[in-house]
Structure 1
């Protein structure tokens, strides 16, 4: 049985990797058309699709992960920083780890803990709480492969405003998946 976990966005992104102008350029759409609101919604939807569907955080987002064990790999990379790691010890006291209790390298999703921490933890399913920030700090830092995957999705959704045939959807999904594979995203499990 896999341990349960809960991942919550505590502060969402304040911007998207693509601007309206960049999306319009992909669509060969002149500036100021009445469908700008629709195109902006496609940008937001493509951003969410990539974040949720591919375990990737395109823009700065703050998360809280609650899990039953000390995870070594945080979901939704790239991780910028870890604000806190807390756990319930064997007496059910909430302990906040000191910076020396773990090591972490920005841009990675890996955490290395001091070897004796797990020995004293509670058996609770919510015993470990990690608050962290992930994503790229600005749109300029987002890899082109992520931006291009968004352009593919936006272009497809703009042209196909209704449900499409299965083969068309699979071709778009394959193109997006192949682009995002270069970012080494993976399905995350607790």
Structure 2
């Protein structure tokens, strides 16, 4: 396992589900609890989303920096937040501890919504690195897309069901575990969790 530092530098600009959609689910036609409902949408998203959420995936487009000591023995850098849209920049500290940049075009990105790794093209090698935890830094964009409709409908449905459950059972939001959630939510989480095989 590579030592790594993972930092989100740009958050998503929108929300996976809209306030109006959730209010329809809740049959709420007033605005007295809009702030509460918005906070529940945010809590549900954070509960599910990468890197520490139960699904382990990024939803809307966001930018991350991954710093590591270097590639693994197969010359790969595994990227823990998926799906990866693009690699924006690659930098490293050379053996003199001076920061340098690498051409993104010299590397292949492999992966899908469950996994991703970066490796040099056949005629390229990783440079020699200074011994530090952030010797190599990859800046990348992750997520299914910019719009809420880019996110798989099953994931959006999980968010809506979670908000409905937590709104109805106010204490549940602070005591959430997958086992305590409604069966429909548990089932959708199971088939959308990173690493699930159909």
Same fold (TM over 0.5): yes
Between the two proteins, the alignment pairs up a number of residues equal to 183
Q: How does 1:27-106 map to 2 (within 5 A)?
A: 27-30=26-29, 32-51=30-49, 52-53=52-53, 54-70=55-71, 71-104=76-109
* C-alpha distance after superposition, 1:80-124 (max 9, x if no partner): 111101122233232211133211268563322246634622322
Q: Which runs of 5+ in 1 are unaligned?
A: none
**Deviation at residue 29 of structure 1 after TM alignment:** 2.1
Q: Which runs of 5+ in 2 are unaligned?
A: none
Question: Are 2:128 and 1:120 equivalent residues in the alignment?
Answer: yes
**Deviation at residue 173 of structure 1 after TM alignment:** 7.5
State how far apart, in whole Å, the 2-side matches of 1:79 and 1:130 are.
12
The answer (yes or no) to whether the contact 2:111–2:117 under 8 Å persists in 1 is no
3-state SS of 1:18 partner: coil
Question: Are 2:145 and 1:146 equivalent residues in the alignment?
Answer: no
The answer (yes or no) to whether the contact 2:178–2:186 under 8 Å persists in 1 is no
State how far apart, in whole Å, the 2-side matches of 1:16 and 1:101 are.
34
**Deviation at residue 3 of structure 1 after TM alignment:** 3.9
Question: Are 2:140 and 1:132 equivalent residues in the alignment?
Answer: yes
Q: Give the TM-score, by structure 1 length.
A: 0.82
**Deviation at residue 38 of structure 1 after TM alignment:** 0.7
Q: Give the TM-score, by structure 2 length.
A: 0.79
The answer (yes or no) to whether the contact 1:5–1:68 under 8 Å persists in 2 is yes
Call closer, same or farther: CA 1:36–1:177 in 2, change over 3 Å.
same
Call closer, same or farther: CA 1:122–1:114 in 2, change over 3 Å.
farther
C-alpha RMSD of matched pairs (Å): 2.8
Q: Look up the match of 2:117.
A: 110
**Deviation at residue 59 of structure 1 after TM alignment:** 0.8
State how far apart, in whole Å, the 2-side matches of 1:149 and 1:26 are.
12
**Deviation at residue 4 of structure 1 after TM alignment:** 2.7
State how far apart, in whole Å, the 2-side matches of 1:167 and 1:43 are.
14
